[in-house]
Amino acid sequence: MIKVLFVCLGNICRSPLAEAIFNHKIQALGLSRKFKSDSAGTSDYHIGELPDERSIKCANRKGLTITHRGRQVNRTDFRDFNYIIAMDDNNLRNLNNLKIKYNFPEKDIFLMRDFVAGWEGLPVPDPYYGGEEGFDEIFQILDESIESFLTKIKEVHQLYA
């Protein structure tokens, strides 16, 4: 079982959407049994909350459903997940600090857009303070990034449906 954790700040906008897109894609590929995915936030701002209404609506417009409750990244995540994927530099920095604090110095943390050639180092922008259109924008960014991520891990783990 390959375990993938998507991480943003609040765990109500970007990372639950990433998780939903990822689940949809692995289902379409017939690879659901090979993966477990989850999402979490670096902050404790929205623990226990449903995703932002705008993320839920954006997912619904694309035919996806989101079922997640906000939670904060914790120590066992560094032990349990094979791939921990940050949405932006700020999340990446926080996760790299946490892995030292929790004593997982060797753990690689990935940046979501690094999986797409030409997008290295770019953020999945935080849509929280913007309008609905920002959510469609990050949906497209996540869709393409996750497509490339899947191409990579199918190869690395030699997965065939």
What residues are labeled active site?
8, 14, 126
Of 47-106, binders to ligand 4NP (CB under 6 A) are none
- Is residue 11 at the binding interface for ligand 4NP, with CB under 6 A as the rule? yes
Q: Report the residue from 5, 94, 126, 150 that binds ligand 4NP according to the rule CB under 6 A.
A: 126
Query: Closest approach of Cβ 113 to ligand 4NP, in Å?
Result: 14
Query: Closest approach of Cβ 125 to ligand 4NP, in Å?
Result: 9
Distance of alpha carbon 82 from alpha carbon 147, whole angstroms? 18
Query: Closest approach of Cβ 131 to ligand 4NP, in Å?
Result: 14
- Is residue 113 at the binding interface for ligand 4NP, with CB under 6 A as the rule? no
Number of Cβ atoms within 10 Å of the Cβ of 67? 11
Using the 8-state DSSP alphabet, how is residue 77 labeled? H
> 104 is written with which tokens?
């997982």
Distance of alpha carbon 96 from alpha carbon 157, whole angstroms? 25
Q: Report the residue from 45, 57, 100, 157 that binds ligand 4NP according to the rule CB under 6 A.
A: 45
> 6 is written with which tokens?
């998507």
Q: Report the residue from 5, 13, 18, 95 that binds ligand 4NP according to the rule CB under 6 A.
A: 13
**Can you say whether the dihedral through the CA atoms of 68, 125, 116, 141 is positive or negative?**
positive
- Is residue 12 at the binding interface for ligand 4NP, with CB under 6 A as the rule? yes
Cross-strand bridge partners of residue 5:
38, 84
Is residue 32 exposed (0-12), middle (13-18) or buried (19+ Cβ within 10 Å)? middle
Q: Which residues bind ligand 4NP (CB under 6 A)?
A: 8-14, 45, 126, 128
